Structure 1
């Protein structure tokens, strides 16, 4: 039990890092199951359902809907970040879970373009925007909660489970979509594609009951008990931590590696490499499955040697190995394709992905941590959201497009690595002293 100072009330709860990590893992799995089934559908299904054009034009428009969530995410970050720092992490995390689950279920109920015309893609974009609002608070809240529940010397390990949950969600999304893409077209494009969206309701209910039993963090409760809650967290954040927000934005460009790998490469593999859609999804499953094991290990490593070296390794190695993965998709060698998918995602990108919740969160004090994490990451994630449509429009899914994709991917990885090198190392700083200027 943590006591407050002076005559202030005593904080009621101690740290529960394992329970916080489990709740974060499950919440992230749900949120990103919902998020990634949209990505798979945007690459393989929606061009046939919601857009009247044929060929590349429909693909570009469909992939653009994937990016619309990233427009809503900065707005959601400001709103949810404010209340996360004002009323607590746990309450906002319950809201994000329900919002994501409801909007995902509604996508599965939408009529096609043939039925209601342009209202169909308009409603699809609306639901996608709601997904974005939800996702804006999910990872920031889960990372803040787990970090503040963790012992000082294991913060990176426990917070890495937040992002490991996203890998679990992507695995589940891909496994659900594999039988869908194998269905006959008349079933796949009518009822089949809707089932993964409807199934999200089941997972949301399970996670809701897990998450509601997790109490608020001792750090937030102590700040509340001692009247140290910021009245306007965003104002305080931009006044005192604007350089840290800018640094997180640039570091968060690294998330584009995930969308290039999980959405754009699927399209590239099917269009240019003549890889069966089911195989491209299995590549995603294999890479994310291995990441379930490598990411906690990278988190442990960052607790021993620091956040910066692990993050920078993840960024630069992602730039190095992505071209080899894309070329493997043209090789016709399935063993090579699976090996390179694991290398680029599970052994390279996973390092940065595992470390960023602690790395970014430790730049901010408890007064503005939720807001700092949410706003910084969501502005940076705009790059990830629009990467598939931008690179597709530049010719990335045409013959020889691996060069365009690799140059784009390499550029954002270098920006993230350079930004990370400007940050202070914080792995030996006690939680109570994080973000102190």
Structure 2
């Protein structure tokens, strides 16, 4: 393909990585600030600390509620006019919203307007990231050789741990500030830094080319007038299964947002101490995450998924009890071990889901699936965990909930792969549909470009 000859696959993968790093940095600093300071800054000081934290987590959830809206809006644009333009818009929106949060006055200054303004900006963040993930995965996977699409999509997935690590490191550095200074102005610094990062990301994305799959859809006038209608009419079962695949990736909010609040507020960990544990776990995630893409590329994807998810049934619940010991090294080892399974799964899942929808509605289908799960599970995870803790005064319920996430993901992934294809080196059902559709154009035969490649 032309894109392969001129280095487009690698450039697209790097651009996806840079862009998603910035987007997830912006999204994750909100979660950290919600755990550490938003309850104090944006809500009345008379509230019980546990209630204030719960309300803070509810504002976090507002971003997840907005993510399906972003998925629908930008999925539609991405399937109608192309992937590149949508990714430029989402990055700009995220930067503006995040910088705005850094400038937002607190409850002491403007009263109830403070949480209202915070929620509004969080909603803009959610809309932006709702359109970002699907586009970033597709800009990488669709620009790649078909038998390597899952590997290239892993570049986009690497933006999540990198953005999370960058956010956590900045908050870790700021934890050296005395508490009053951190509450008054220190927490704002990570949000204001977003403006600089967005400029870098825009420079990278504006140089991108449209991926090959989308070029073909545009060239042959295969776009759909209303992609979401076709997705819901023809592919609704795939959407539901794909959404059900994703709960296990949201356990990250158990171990970062919720665990950070729980450990520092109730177990006696200092802010800097627990952030250092999270930093090490994020490094482990960054290093192990690509292994998931390699694993599914080389074997029956159903077996690969079992190898990645089954350990999570034990390791994630064990992590909470390791943290509860209040022993630093036990807590760190527990969190690092629990990180490996869902990190490997996350490294592969973007590329797997990019294969299950035809190109003409792929952005919409992928975004709708991901953000549907985010709405129901992602933002609700720290809320659920905090509610369980408040209600039972025990971490056991939270540990059980984390295992249930893994069970749902495993069952839905097996069901999805049985319907769409389970060998990465072969065309999926949706990709074969693209081939058959384009073959009907007598001037273009894609078979030479989309050959089935034997599994290594």
Q: Which TM-score bucket, shorter chain as reference?
A: over 0.9
C-alpha distance in 2 between matches for 1:220 and 1:47: 44
**Structure 2 matches for 1:1-400, cutoff 5 A?**
1=1, 16-52=8-44, 53-345=47-339, 347-382=340-375, 383-395=377-389, 399-400=393-394
Offset at residue 256 of structure 1 (A): 2.2
Query: In the alignment, is the contact (CA less than 8 A) between 1:272 and 1:399 conserved in 2?
Result: no
Q: Deviations over 1:134-186 (max 9, x none)?
A: 00011100111111011122222111121111100000000100122331122
Alpha-carbon contact 1:364-1:435 (below 8 Å) kept:
no
How has the CA–CA distance of structure 1 residues 31 and 248 changed in structure 2, closer, same or farther, with 3 Å as cutoff? same
Q: Which deviates further from its counterpart, 238-247 or 301-310?
A: 301-310
Task: Let me know the Cα RMSD of the aligned residues.
Answer: 1.9
When residues 152 and 84 of structure 1 are mapped into structure 2, their CA distance, relative to the original with a 3 A threshold, is: same
C-alpha displacement of 1:435: 6.3
- Residues 1:417 and 2:414 aligned together: no
Question: How high is the TM-score relative to the length of structure 2?
Answer: 0.90
Q: Which runs of 5+ in 2 are unaligned?
A: 435-456
* Distance change in 2, residues 1:149/1:221 (3 Å): same
Q: Contact 2:164/2:282 (CA < 8 Å) preserved in 1?
A: yes
Separation in 2, partners of 1:49, 1:147 = 42
Distance 1:190 1:119 in 2: 18
Deviation at 1:121, TM superposition (A): 0.4
Gap change, CA 1:122 and 1:13, over 3 Å in 2: farther
Kept in 2: contact 1:36–1:173 (CA 8 A): yes
Q: Is the 8 A contact 2:242 2:416 kept in 1?
A: no
C-alpha offsets along residues 116-139 of structure 1, whole Å, 9 cap, x if unaligned? 001000000000000000000111
Q: Contact (CA 8 Å) 1:17, 1:150: kept in 2 or not?
A: yes
Residues 190 and 48 of structure 1, relative CA distance in 2, 3 Å threshold: same
In structure 2, the partner of 1:6 is: none
SS class of match (2:311): helix
- Asked if 2 retains the 8 angstrom alpha-carbon contact of 1:70 and 1:132, the reply is yes
User: Structure 2 vs 1, CA of residues 352 and 47 (structure 1 numbering), >3 Å: closer, same or farther?
Assistant: same
**1:8 maps to what in 2?**
none
Partner of 1:436: 433
* Alpha-carbon distance in 2 for matches of 1:193, 1:342: 26
Can you list the C-alpha shifts for 1:33-90, whole angstroms capped at 9, x where unaligned?
1111100000001011011113111010001111110111111111111111000001
CA distance in 1 between partners of 2:176 and 2:185 (Å): 13
TM-score by length of 1: 0.93
Shift, 1:15, TM fit: 6.7
Within 1, Cα distance between the matches of 2:186 and 2:410? 42
Paired residues of 2:12 and 2:208 also in contact (CA < 8 A) = yes
Q: CA deviation at 1:398?
A: 6.9
1:415 and 1:293 map into 2 onto residues whose CA distance is 26
- Aligned 8 A contact 2:151 2:294 in 1: yes
Inter-CA distance 163–359: structure 2 relative to 1 (3 Å threshold)? same
